[in-house]
Structure 1
């Protein structure tokens, strides 16, 4: 079972959708808390759902239970918080949510986790993928950069 991850920041629509199509993923799972912001450009929920279907033949699913809380985001982004503190809090949050039980493995299989960060190093999509990998057997995580 493969779980892909991708961020849209610093990618043109051509690059973003080209990489998604080439990955072989069958579904995009939006892990953002806010997926309708004007700052999201071509990745606003309704536009993204249309583009994924038309360009990549992919499904779109929004799973806010895989997103951090607004307070966590504000503390890290707006207040320039410490990554290790954010990581610990986020992992505690998804553990309390028991996302490995709340979300069907079938939904995640061969899907791509989306968030805004350009690279996975300081991104919650990587944390979600690694968390699931530690709880489910046979998971390969592939970061699309």
Structure 2
């Protein structure tokens, strides 16, 4: 089973959609808290859903269970909380939400967790993928 992750910042639309198509992603799970921001450019929720279906015949869905809380995200962005604290609190949130029991784990195969961060190192999509991998046998995580 393969689970991909991708961020859209610092990417041109051609590169972003090309990575998804080349990887064989069949569904994008939007894990962002803010999906309609003007700053998202081509990745605004309604536009992204349209582009994914037209460009790569890729399904789009929102997975709010994997989004951080607004308070947590604001504190991290304002540097009131460092990455280690954010990581700890986000993983506690996933555990409290019991996402591994509330998400159809078999549907994740060839799915892709989407967030805005350009790279996965300091992004909740990586944490979510690692968290889900604990509940899925032989899950390969690939960061695009």
> Into which bin does the TM-score normalised by the smaller protein fall?
over 0.9
**Partner residue in 1 for 2:112:** 112
Cα deviation for residue 99 of structure 1 reads 0.5
Per-residue CA distance 1:5-57 (angstroms, 9 max, x = gap):
00001000000001111010100000001101111100001100000000011
Q: 1:24-43 to 2 correspondence within 5 Å?
A: 24-43=24-43
Which position in structure 2 is the counterpart of 1:127? Answer: 127
Query: How far 1:80 sits from its partner (Å)?
Result: 4.9
SS at match of 2:35: coil
Which residue of the partner structure matches residue 88 of structure 2? Answer: 88
Structure 2 residue aligned with 1:20: 20
List, as ranges, runs of 4+ consecutive aligned residues in structure 1 with deviation greater than 6 Å: none
CA shift for structure 1 position 71: 0.2
User: In the alignment, which residue of structure 2 is the partner of 1:97?
Assistant: 97
Task: Provide the secondary structure at the position in 2 that maps to 1:25.
Answer: coil
Q: Offset at 1:136?
A: 1.6
Deviation per residue, 1:41-87 (Å, 9 max, x gap):
00001100000000011000001110000000001012352100000
Deviation at 1:109, TM superposition (A): 1.6
The alignment's TM-score, normalised by the length of structure 1, stands at 0.97
**RMSD over equivalenced CA pairs, Å:** 0.8
Q: Secondary structure at the match of 2:114?
A: strand
> How far 1:135 sits from its partner (Å)?
1.8
